[in-house]
Amino acid sequence: MGLEALRVKNLRCLSDTTRIPIRPITVLVGRNSSGKSTFLRAFPLLRQSVETATESPILWYHERYVDFGSLKDAINDQATDRSVTFEFSVRLPENAHVAQGTPVFDVAMTLAEGRPPRGAYVKAYDIRCLDHTASLRFDPLGKLLSFHVNDADVLPRDADMSLGGAAFLLPTLLPGNHGKVTYQPVIQALHVDPPKYRVPKDPEPLLAELSRELRPVFHGNTTDDTRRDIGDHLVVGTLDAMWKKLLSASRGRRLNDRFTYRGASGLRFASIVRRTFARLVPWILDAVDQQVADFMNRVAYLAPLRATAARSYRVQDLSVNDVDPDGKNLAMFMRSLSEPEIQSFAAFTREHLGFESKIEISGLHAEILVKEPRGSRYINLVDIGFGYTEVLPLMAILWSTCWRAPRDGVQPTSLLAIEQPELHLHPAHQVKLAGVIAGAWRASRDAQREVKIMVETHSEGLVNGLGELIRSGVISASDVQIVLFDQDAETRGTEVRLAGYTEDGALNDDWPFGFFAPVADD
C-alpha cells in the first residue's frame, strides 16, 4: 500500500508531468533547467510540509531541505491559472472502509494564492477511482462551492460544508463553516501494518442525501434509520460490485420491482452510486492524507551541493539517525554508529567503490579518515581529493537507508531521492554507481523494507550501467524506469515521457536517439 505515483502541474517549468509511477529505481534525465530537479525536489518539499506545523498545506521553504520561495514563486510563469496541483495515486487497504478490494485512488489537490494574511488555500480536489470521478471547488475560506460526482451535481441541498479539522496535508470535508484547517505535523509514527485510520466526524448532510436517494428503492414503511444504516454500508467499486453490495446491505428487504428490473444500468442506481461516492469523499480524503503523510515523512534526500569537508569537527552529543541532505552532519552520523555498524559501512564502501572510511575522536574534535583502494593507511578526508568529499555522504545515505539493520523506533525509509550522485566521479566509477544503487535497493527489498530510489542525473555511464545490470540478470527491466524531461527551447515548456529498458538491457524505443549527444550553442 502507499503512494504509487505522483503528478504535478504548474510547478515551476513543469506544466504537467502526467502520472509518474514510483518504481523501485527511477532515473530522471534531461538537459539543464528542464524540470527534473523540480520534480525530484517535490518529495523533500512534501516531507518538510508534513513534518512541520504550518498555516497552509505546503511549507515552501525549509532550511534543511528545499527552498521553493512561496506559492507565487513556485507557479509556472506560463500558467494562466495561478495555481499548483499535486496529484497523489494511493492504493487504500480494505480497512480504510471506502472501497471493495484495494483500488487506486487518484486525488489531485490544487492550491491557489490567498489574500494576506492568509497563505495558499485548497482551491479544488479532483478524485478518481475506477470509473468514478468527484470534483470539488472551494472559496479561500474553505467553503464548498460546488460538488460534482460523475459529472452530476451532488452539492447538499440545505447544509453548508467546508474544509476543516486537523490534517497533515489534505484537509477533509466536514459539515458547517469552519474557516480554518489545523495543519499538524507528523509526530507519532504512521507506518503501521495494517494501517490505522482516523474516523472523520460523520458527514451527516451527505449521508442524508444518500438516504433520500434510497427512499424510492424500498417499501414505504422502511425507516430513515434503516436507510441510513444501509447507506452506511455502501462503498466504492465497479457498478456490478456496488449493485451486489446494495443487495447484501439490504439484508433481504424487498426492493422496488422496477428498480430491481433495471438493475445496475438503471438511472436510480446511477444516482445512488453518485451519492455513495459523494458520501465517502471525507473518508477518502482522510485516508489518502494519512497514507501520503506516512510516505512523505519517510523520504530521505541528498542534495547536489554537499558540504565542504573540514579537517576536524567539533564533537556534539546529538542524536543522529540520518544524514543531512547536504552531508553537513556526516562526522556526527559516523560517530553515532555502533561497532557492528562501523564494520558494515566499511564493508559496503569497500565492496562497491573500493575505499573505507572511519571516524577518529581526539578530545572534543573528530576527523573523517579515508583509506583508498590499495592504500596502506587512512588519510584525512580533506587531503584525499574532492571526489571522496562528494561520494562519502552518498554512500552513507545509501547504506543507512537501505543496508543498515533498522534501529528501534526508526521508521523505514519510503523513498531515497538523490540529485546528481555522479558529481566529481570518474566515468568508470559512474558505471559502478549503478551497481551501488541497484545493490542498495536489493538489500532493502531482501530485508522486506523496500526503499524506492529516485535519481536525477546527467550520467550516461549510470544509465548504461543499469542496462548492463539488467542484461546480466542482477535486476529486472521492470524494476527500472527512466523519466525523460525535454524542454522546448522556444516555449520553455517541458514534455515528460516515460522510457525504460528491454529485457536484454537495451534502452527501449521510447528513448530518443542522440539524447546524450553534445549540443552546440546557437
Three-state SS letters, 431-480:
HHHHHHHHHHHHHHHHCCCCCEEEEECCCHHHHHHHHHHHHCCCCCHHHE
Please say if the pLDDT value at position 399 is more than 80.
yes
Please say if the pLDDT value at position 198 is more than 70.
no
Contact of 367 with 312, CB cutoff 8 Å: yes
Query: Looking at the domain assignment, is residue 380 inside a domain?
Result: yes
CB neighbours of residue 346 within 10 Å: 16
What is the pLDDT, as a whole number, of residue 86? 98
Over residues 366-394, mean pLDDT: 88
Closest by CA to 64, choosing from 307, 240, 227, 279, is: 307
Please say if the pLDDT value at position 194 is more than 70.
no
Query: Looking at the domain assignment, is residue 325 inside a domain?
Result: yes
Q: pLDDT-based confidence at 216, cuts 50/70/90?
A: very high
- 173 CB-side CA count, 13 A: 32
Over residues 17-36, mean pLDDT: 94
Contact of 131 with 149, CB cutoff 8 Å: no
Q: pLDDT-based confidence at 517, cuts 50/70/90?
A: low
Q: How far apart are CA 502 and CA 390, in angstroms?
A: 32
What is the pLDDT, as a whole number, of residue 388? 85
Read off the pLDDT of residues 268-296 as tens digits, 9 standing for 90 and up. Answer: 999 999 999 999 999 999 999 999 999 99
Q: How far apart are CA 358 and CA 371, in angstroms?
A: 9
What is the pLDDT, as a whole number, of residue 5? 98
CA–CA–CA angle 207, 213, 214 (5° rounding): 90
Query: Looking at the domain assignment, is residue 130 inside a domain?
Result: no
Q: How far apart are CA 232 and CA 243, in angstroms?
A: 15
What is the pLDDT, as a whole number, of residue 193? 67
Q: How far apart are CA 87 and CA 46, in angstroms?
A: 12
What is the pLDDT, as a whole number, of residue 503? 93
What is the pLDDT, as a whole number, of residue 390? 86
Q: 339-353 and 427-446 helices cross at what angle (nearest 10)?
A: 130
* Number of compact structural domains in the chain: 1
Read off the pLDDT of residues 68-81 as tens digits, 9 standing for 90 and up. Answer: 999 999 998 888 88
- 106 CB-side CA count, 13 A: 18
Q: How far apart are CA 469 and CA 479, in angstroms?
A: 11
Please say if the pLDDT value at position 522 is more than 50.
no
Please say if the pLDDT value at position 305 is more than 80.
no
Q: Give Cβ neighbours of residue 511 (< 8 Å, ≥ 6 apart).
A: 482, 484, 499
Read off the pLDDT of residues 141-192 as tens digits, 9 standing for 90 and up. Answer: 999 999 999 999 999 988 889 999 899 999 999 988 766 899 999 988 787 7
Q: How far apart are CA 418 and CA 362, in angstroms?
A: 33
Reading the block at residue 288, the C-alpha cell is: 489518502
Read off the pLDDT of residues 39-90 as tens digits, 9 standing for 90 and up. Answer: 999 999 999 999 999 989 999 999 989 999 999 999 988 888 889 999 999 9
Over residues 337-357, mean pLDDT: 91
Query: Looking at the domain assignment, is residue 307 inside a domain?
Result: yes
Query: Looking at the domain assignment, is residue 290 inside a domain?
Result: no
Q: How far apart are CA 207 and CA 156, in angstroms?
A: 10
- Residues of the chain with pLDDT > 70, as a percent, come to 94
Query: Looking at the domain assignment, is residue 417 inside a domain?
Result: no
Q: How far apart are CA 444 and CA 505, in angstroms?
A: 23
Q: How far apart are CA 488 and CA 471, in angstroms?
A: 33
Query: Looking at the domain assignment, is residue 176 inside a domain?
Result: no
Q: What's the longest Cα–Cα distance across the chain? A: 91
Beta strands in 116-268 (DSSP E): 121-129, 132-138, 144-149, 152-153, 161-164, 166-167, 172-175, 182-183
Q: How far apart are CA 297 and CA 192, in angstroms?
A: 13
Please say if the pLDDT value at position 328 is more than 50.
yes
pTM here is: 0.93
CA distances, 420 to each of 117, 204, 357 (Å)? 38, 51, 22
- Residues of the chain with pLDDT > 90, as a percent, come to 66
Please say if the pLDDT value at position 200 is more than 60.
no
Please say if the pLDDT value at position 337 is more than 80.
yes
Q: How far apart are CA 36 and CA 26, in angstroms?
A: 12
Q: What is the extent of the structural domain holding 334?
A: 300-410
Please say if the pLDDT value at position 332 is more than 70.
yes
Mean pLDDT of the chain: 90
Query: Looking at the domain assignment, is residue 394 inside a domain?
Result: yes
How would DSSP label each residue in 284-311? HHHHHHHHHHHHHHTEEEE-SSPPPP-S
Please say if the pLDDT value at position 117 is more than 70.
no
Please say if the pLDDT value at position 519 is more than 60.
no
Please say if the pLDDT value at position 434 is more than 70.
yes
Q: pLDDT-based confidence at 108, cuts 50/70/90?
A: very high
